[in-house]
Chain A
Amino acid sequence: MCPILMGQGPDKIEKVTEKRITIDPITRLEGHGKIEIFLDDNGNVANAYWQVPELRGFEKFCIGRSVDELNKLTSRLCGVCPGAHHICSTKALDGVFGVEPPETAKKLRELFYMAHYIHSHIAHFYALAAADFVLGPGAPKAERNILGVVAAVGVEIGGEVIKHRSYAQKIQEMLGGKATHPVCGIPGGFSKSISEDERAKIEAMAKSCVEFSKFTNQLFADVVLKNKDYLALITDPGIYYNETYYLGTVDKNDKINFYDGTQKMISPTGEEVARYTGKDYLKYIAEHTLPWSYEKFCYFKPIGWKGLVDGKDSGIYRATPLARLNVSKGFTTPLAQAEYEKYFGTFRDLGVKGPIHHTMATHWARVIEMLYASEKLLELSQDPEITGKHVRNPVKEPGEGVGILEAPRGTLVHHYVADKNGITKDVNLVVGTTNNNAPMNLSVRKAATALIKNWQVSDGLLNAVEMAYRAYDPCNSCATHTLPGQMPIDAVIRRADGSVYRTLSRSC
């Protein structure tokens, strides 16, 4: 039993008699989900399932639409990361229309996108995750939220959190019309240029964001890393730890780039196993379906789907801030790079070799990324080309296009095929969180197995199980863009190792 979960205020441990525990809904993430935990005859965990119950059907109903509308329609995949979908979709549209945007337009898109990252990572760290660290996993349920965090850290810090996410939203609004569901991306460019006045405002806000990100990294160090119980939670290989493959996007120097680059996959022991761009993603990424979740399960195609197991022989990979720091050699901006080195230094000092498999470290990686996004935002706001007036290049006849970038929650792919009238014929989406569906199942199962023993359950322990997926900052609306129907046609019954036990067919 993890010591941090004992004596954490009024968290009461009780003995349950039922062999089934349902957590519904899972909370402090984006999207719908539930966890079903099954106990064996000794009251220990036999299995745990992280199920996603939602889906809407984007890949299908976008067919027949005018393809240029897709960057507005697919933005509705997610209201927490609409910027990621909008910009990725716009990159796919560049491909569809065979056009390369002018430099100013690319920089404006990246400027917008860095503001988006700041909003997203602040929202996740402070509003969704922080309660577990600032107040503790076993803190009273009613206080375990952003309001409880503000009460604990004080209104001044709370005010700074709110102010800087507000800056990030304001910048996105200035560039994109709206922060949630922006409109600035067009095939071949950006919808408008910015004035010197606007640029100066963005620069001022960016400077403040850099300071705030530095503060956030310091806060993480003080509240989390210097607390030996939390540090144990992060580094203990028995609870929040899985050895998987890792996927991220890097530039030509293997430094992280959120907006553009090459996709790189490494093995659990750190060897590079794939490097690709564009449509070649089809050679490396596939999606598996299981009957008990509407979300598909991504895996690394050359290894294959081996079931819900980790390790080098399983195709399961992660695409998260943790993954990005693992696949890359660091950041192009100085402050983030220094934090990157401190991060790896800490783990190396603890004897950890190779990629960092410790799921809780994802929170740390995320705040370092927040710092990079702030520095990059500032750098771009000071770029002489950013106020350029040439923001659009003419398009060619429409065809096929692939856009890939790093969404805050993982590598995102938008792939469209349009006919020569510009009507969408085909859509494929591989979304950030879908990459992580299988590893989240692994993480939840492992945490539940480690924390729930001998029938003993408490609200804090169940929350600690939820922390296993929360580190991934899941976005289930994104992940389940798809829509299945009501009646199954075939049901496959699998053994625990994933091999097929029996197939049942049922006609409608």
Chain B
Amino acid sequence: MAEEAQAQSAPVEAEGWEPKLLVFCCNWCSYAGADLAGVSRLQMPTNFRVIRTMCSARVDPEFVLRAFAKGADGVLVLGCHPADCHYIGGNYRTRRRIALLRVLLEQYGFNPDRLKLEWVSASEGMKFQQTIKEFDRTIRELGPNPINEE
């Protein structure tokens, strides 16, 4: 019954909903890239929080699952480009992990696009800006995390 009622309600964006985005940045590349974007005063949405890990491979699926369980609308994982990982092979593990995690999230009923993996190097301030803007747009399209609706 509740499910049918939900399907008919108006888009929640109209109520002033702001997506809550969680961004994991690896210390050596993407966090530095984020810093560069900030120092360059590049404009981007501000509804994201950054958690810095030493390597993108440190992002445990549990972190991502907990983020969604606690109501995050989107999770973005940023790491070094392939062949540039500070720890040689960390980002190779990351991409395997995130690929399978997206499949799992879809089985759980989430739109897998709520989890995204992108490569941002220390010099790519503009890429950081672009990635944030695009991801925010994607999540606005998708609407709030369905867990928040229950």
Contact = CB atoms under 8 A, between A and B. Distances in A.
Touching chains A and B, CB distance < 8 Å: yes
Interface of A: 64, 487, 508
A487 B1 CA distance: 10
Contacts of A64: 107
Nearest to A486: B1
A341 B107 CA distance: 57
Interface in B1-38: 1, 4
A241 B75 CA distance: 66
Nearest to A508: B1
B8 to A, nearest CB: 14
A64 B108 CA distance: 12
Query: Which secondary structure characterizes the binding site on chain A?
Result: loop
A47 B35 CA distance: 79
B20 to A, nearest CB: 30
Nearest to B107: A64
How extensive is the interface on chain B, given as a class? Answer: under 10
4 contacts: A64-B107, A487-B1, A508-B1, A508-B4
Nearest to B1: A508
A487 B3 CA distance: 14
A487 B2 CA distance: 13
Nearest to A487: B1
Contacts of A508: 1, 4
Nearest to B2: A508
A64 to B, nearest CB: 8
Contacts of B107: 64
Contacts of A487: 1
A508 B107 CA distance: 27
B4 to A, nearest CB: 8
B109 to A, nearest CB: 12
Nearest to A507: B1
Contacts of B4: 508
A487 B4 CA distance: 14
A273 B47 CA distance: 72
A449 B132 CA distance: 75
A485 to B, nearest CB: 11
A486 to B, nearest CB: 10
A364 B107 CA distance: 50
Contacts of B1: 487, 508
The 4 A-B pairs at the shortest CB distance, nearest first, are namely: A508-B1, A64-B107, A487-B1, A508-B4
A6 B4 CA distance: 60
Interface string B74-115: 000000000000000000000000000000000100000000
A227 to B, nearest CB: 59
A506 to B, nearest CB: 12
B45 to A, nearest CB: 36
A64 B107 CA distance: 9
B6 to A, nearest CB: 14
B118 to A, nearest CB: 29
A508 B1 CA distance: 6
A368 to B, nearest CB: 49
Interface in B29-81: none
B92 to A, nearest CB: 26
A37 B107 CA distance: 46
A112 B1 CA distance: 48
A256 B63 CA distance: 57
A69 to B, nearest CB: 14
A487 B107 CA distance: 26
Interface in B97-150: 107
A65 to B, nearest CB: 11
A56 B1 CA distance: 21
A422 to B, nearest CB: 16
B104 to A, nearest CB: 13
A132 to B, nearest CB: 47
A64 B106 CA distance: 12
B38 to A, nearest CB: 44
B11 to A, nearest CB: 25
A64 B4 CA distance: 24
B133 to A, nearest CB: 36
A64 B109 CA distance: 13
B110 to A, nearest CB: 16
Nearest to A64: B107
B53 to A, nearest CB: 33
B76 to A, nearest CB: 28
A64 B103 CA distance: 13
A64 B1 CA distance: 25
